[in-house]
Amino acid sequence: MSDAAAPPRTPATVRVLVFSDDAHTREQVRLALGERPHPDLPPIEYVEVATAPVVIDRLDRGGIDLAILDGEASPAGGMGVAKQLKDEIANCPPIVILTGRPDDAWLASWSRAEAAVSQPLDPIELASAVIRLLRVRLNL
């Protein structure tokens, strides 16, 4: 069998970067998604980050399958960070922006994020966005 005919290989885990200056927000994301948001996906390995420079460094090094960025983070918000990542990182992983309110979704689209979820987090809405984006990223 040639490599072209082989089914895509699913990694043992997926790495999801969660950025917020607020530890409670990062915890809410972890609790909403859990260890495995869908049986078709590998378990999630979380990479928690509290500052924008570390987000940029981690994504620049590679190995991140999806990033969830807090649009309300301070001093650098997730939307500006997302725009910078999409402009500067080749093959940037998909990004979910956590917005302060549903009406801010248009700003998330400006940042070139693939999805936006408003706070307070709805676990079903967040999981749906993450599952959809990881399936595309992993070719499942």
The CATH code of the domain that includes 115 is: 3.40.50.2300
pLDDT in tens, 20-79: 999 999 999 999 999 999 999 999 999 999 999 999 999 999 999 999 999 999 999 999
- Residue 2 falls inside a structural domain: no
**Is 87 in contact with 55 (CB distance < 8 Å)?**
no
Q: Does residue 2 have a pLDDT over 50? A: no
With cut-offs at 50, 70 and 90, classify the pLDDT of residue 104: confident
Please give the average per-residue pLDDT across 116-133, as a whole number.
96
Domain that holds residue 106: 12-137
Does residue 46 belong to any structural domain of this protein?
yes
Q: Is 40 contained in some domain?
A: yes
Max intra-chain CA distance, the chain = 53
List 68's β-bridge partners, or say none: 18, 96
Is 4 within the bounds of a domain?
no
Residue 42 near residue 12 (C-beta atoms within 8 A)? yes
Quick check: is 88 in a domain? yes
User: What's at 78, amino acid-wise?
Assistant: G
Rounded distance between C-alpha atoms, residue 133 and residue 138, angstroms: 9
List the beta strands (DSSP E) in the chain: 14-19, 44-49, 66-70, 95-99, 115-118
* Domain total in the chain: 1
Beta pairing, strands 14-19 & 95-99: unpaired
- Whether residue 5 is contained in a domain is answered as no
